[in-house]
C-alpha cells in the first residue's frame, strides 16, 4: 500500500453540548493542534475530558460548535464522515456476527468502485498485515477478543484511509493481549506510514505507542509533546500527576545555577531550548533543578516558592539507620516496603511529614530495608523538574 499520509490540523475546535436541564457542557474548549503526516498522536486524559468528542469531530460524527478541521490542508469541517478519508476503530469491535471475517473486512469496500479481483487482493493483503491469513471464512464469534479487534482494524484499513482514528480500541482486552495489540497497531501504523489519532486514558499505552501525546483536561489541551517531554518536563501539576507516579517536593528557588561550576555546566549542557538550570533549596539542601526559562519570574511573584517534581525512580537510598551516608539529601522513616522482584517500592515519611514513594530497581543488588528503618535519600538532580507553585 502506498503511503498517502496527511497532516491533521484542528483550529480552535469547540463543542458545547446542551445537557439535561438545558445546562451547557463544554466538551471541547478551543482545541488547536497540528499533527504531522505519519505521526501517531494520543489524546490522553481522565474520563469526561473531551477525548472522544474531539476525535468524533475529526471523523465528522460530531459538528463543532465553532472552529475548523483540516486534513491534508483541506478544510473538511462541513464534509460528512465518508468524504473525509478517515476510518475509525472502536472499543466495541462492531463486527457483523452473521458475516464471515472476510466479508466483514470487505464490507468497507462495498460503496467503493473496486473490481471483484481488486477487492479480493486488498482483503488478502490486509488479512496478512494483521496476521489473520486463513481466518477469512470463520465467523467473528469463533475468534478471540484480540483477533476480533484485528478484524475491526483490517476493516478500517482496507479502505486505505488517510487518517486512522482509534477510540480506546483495546480496553476490552486483558492486560497481556493489550500490550501485544498495541505493539501490533503501532507496527502496522508505521509500516503503512498512516497518520493516526489514538484515544486512551491508559498512560502507559500512550507512552509506549505515541510519537506525541496530547494531555487533555476539562476540554482543553494541558500539554502537548513527546512522551519524554510530558513525563520529564510536565508543564503543570495535573500533567505530572496524570502521567506516571510522582512525588512533589516543596522548594525555594534562590536563583540560576552558577555555570562556572563544572557540575552545573555539565548538567546545563543537557538542557533543551527554553530550559534553565536553577538553584533550589529542598529540605535546606542546595540542589540544581531544571525548569522553564520563565520560572524565576513566575516563581519570583510568589516569593520564590516552587514545586519540584521527583519521580519514584529519581531518588536512591543513601544508607540506613546508623550508617546514613553524608551524601543523603534528606532522611525519612520507612512505612511501606513492597517487593516486586524487578523492583522494590518504599513508602518513606520525610522530615516535614509528607510520604515519598521511592522505587529501587534491581533490588537484588542491595540489602532490603524494612518498615521502621530510617533511611537516607538522595535525589538525582538531573531528573528533577521545577514547576511554579500553583500550576
Ligand X SMILES: Nc1ncnc2c1ncn2[C@@H]1O[C@H](COP(=O)(O)OP(=O)(O)OP(=O)(O)O)[C@@H](O)[C@H]1O
Using CB distances below 5 to 8 A depending on partner kind, what does residue 337 bind out of Mg ion, ligand X, none? Answer: none
Instruction: Please say whether the beta carbons of 377 and 356 come within 8 A.
Output: yes
Using CB distances below 5 to 8 A depending on partner kind, what does residue 282 bind out of ligand X, Mg ion, none? Answer: none
3-state secondary structure of 325: coil
Other Cβ atoms closer than 10 A to 171: 13
Would you count residue 147 as binding Mg ion (CB under 5 A)? no
Out of 40, 41, 49, 377, the only residue in the binding site for ligand X (CB under 6 A) is: 49
Give whichever of 52 and 292 is closer to Mg ion, judged by the CB atom: 52
Instruction: Please say whether the beta carbons of 225 and 189 come within 8 A.
Output: no
Q: Counting Cβ atoms within 10 Å, is residue 103 exposed (0-12), middle (13-18) or buried (19+)?
A: middle
Residue nearest to Mg ion (CB): 52
Would you count residue 51 as binding ligand X (CB under 6 A)? yes
DSSP tag of 173: S
Out of 13, 27, 40, 185, the only residue in the binding site for ligand X (CB under 6 A) is: 27
Would you count residue 25 as binding ligand X (CB under 6 A)? yes
Site string for ligand X, 182-221 (x = CB under 6 A): -------------------x--------------------
Out of 47, 115, 323, 370, the only residue in the binding site for ligand X (CB under 6 A) is: 47
Would you count residue 52 as binding ligand X (CB under 6 A)? yes
Would you count residue 48 as binding ligand X (CB under 6 A)? yes
Give whichever of 49 and 309 is closer to ligand X, judged by the CB atom: 49
| Beta strand ranges found along the chain (DSSP E) | 8-18, 24-35, 40-44, 66-71, 74-75, 86-89, 163-167, 195-200, 212-217, 220-225, 247-256, 275-282, 285-292, 305-310, 315-320, 330-339, 343-350, 355-361, 374-379, 385-388
**Cα–Cα dist 105/184, whole Å:** 18
Would you count residue 234 as binding ligand X (CB under 6 A)? no
Would you count residue 88 as binding ligand X (CB under 6 A)? no
Residues 6-65 contacting Mg ion, CB under 5 A = 52
What is the binding site for ligand X (CB under 6 A)?
Answer: 17, 19, 25, 27, 45, 47-53, 201
Amino acid at each position: 500500500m502506498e503511503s498517502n499520509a496527511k497532516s491533521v490540523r484542528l483550529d480552535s475546535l469547540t463543542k458545547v453540548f446542551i445537557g439535561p436541564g438545558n445546562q451547557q457542557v463544554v466538551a471541547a474548549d478551543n482545541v488547536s493542534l497540528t499533527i504531522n503526516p505519519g505521526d501517531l498522536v494520543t489524546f490522553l486524559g481522565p474520563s469526561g475530558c473531551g477525548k472522544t468528542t474531539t476525535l468524533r469531530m475529526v471523523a465528522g460524527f460530531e459538528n463543532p460548535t465553532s472552529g475548523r478541521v483540516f486534513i491534508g490542508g483541506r478544510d473538511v469541517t462541513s464534509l460528512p464522515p465518508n468524504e473525509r478519508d478517515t476510518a475509525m476503530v472502536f472499543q466495541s469491535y462492531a463486527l457483523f456476527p452473521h458475516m464471515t471475517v472476510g466479508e466483514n473486512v470487505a464490507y468497507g469496500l462495498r460503496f467503493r468502485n473496486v473490481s471483484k479481483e481488486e477487492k479480493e487482493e486488498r482483503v488478502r493483503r490486509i488479512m496478512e498485515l494483521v496476521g489473520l491469513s486463513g481466518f477469512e471464512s470463520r465467523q467473528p464469534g469463533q475468534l478471540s477478543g484480540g483477533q476480533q479487534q484485528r478484524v475491526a482494524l483490517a476493516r478500517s484499513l482496507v479502505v486505505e484511509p488517510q487518517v486512522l482514528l482509534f477510540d480506546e480500541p483495546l480496553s476490552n482486552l486483558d492486560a497481556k493481549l493489550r500490550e501485544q495489540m498495541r505493539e501490533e497497531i503501532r507496527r502496522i501504523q508505521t509500516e503503512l506510514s498512516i497518520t493516526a489519532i489514538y484515544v486512551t486514558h491508559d498512560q502507559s499505552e500512550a507512552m509506549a505507542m505515541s510519537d506525541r501525546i496530547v494531555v487533555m483536561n476539562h476540554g482543553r489541551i494541558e500539554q502537548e509533546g513527546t512522551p519524554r517531554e510530558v513525563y520529564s518536563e510536565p508543564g503543570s501539576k495535573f500533567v505530572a500527576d496524570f502521567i506516571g507516579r510522582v512525588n512533589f517536593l516543596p522548594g525555594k528557588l534562590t536563583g540560576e545555577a552558577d555555570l562556572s561550576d563544572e557540575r552545573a555546566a555539565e548538567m546545563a549542557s543537557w538542557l533543551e531550548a527554553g530550559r534553565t538550570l536553577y538553584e533550589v533549596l529542598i529540605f535546606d539542601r542546595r540542589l540544581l533543578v531544571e525548569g522553564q526559562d520563565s520560572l524565576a519570574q513566575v516563581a519570583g511573584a510568589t516569593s520564590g516558592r516552587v514545586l519540584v517534581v521527583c519521580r519514584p525512580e529519581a531518588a536512591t537510598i543513601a544508607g540506613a539507620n546508623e550508617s546514613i551516608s553524608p551524601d543523603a539529601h534528606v532522611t525519612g522513616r520507612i512505612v511501606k516496603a513492597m517487593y516486586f522482584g524487578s523492583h522494590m517500592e518504599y513508602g518513606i515519611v520525610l522530615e516535614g511529614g509528607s510520604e515519598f514513594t521511592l522505587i529501587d530497581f534491581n533490588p537484588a543488588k542491595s540489602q532490603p530495608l524494612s518498615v521502621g528503618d530510617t533511611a537516607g535519600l538522595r535525589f538525582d538532580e538531573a531528573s528533577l523538574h521545577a514547576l511554579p507553585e500553583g500550576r
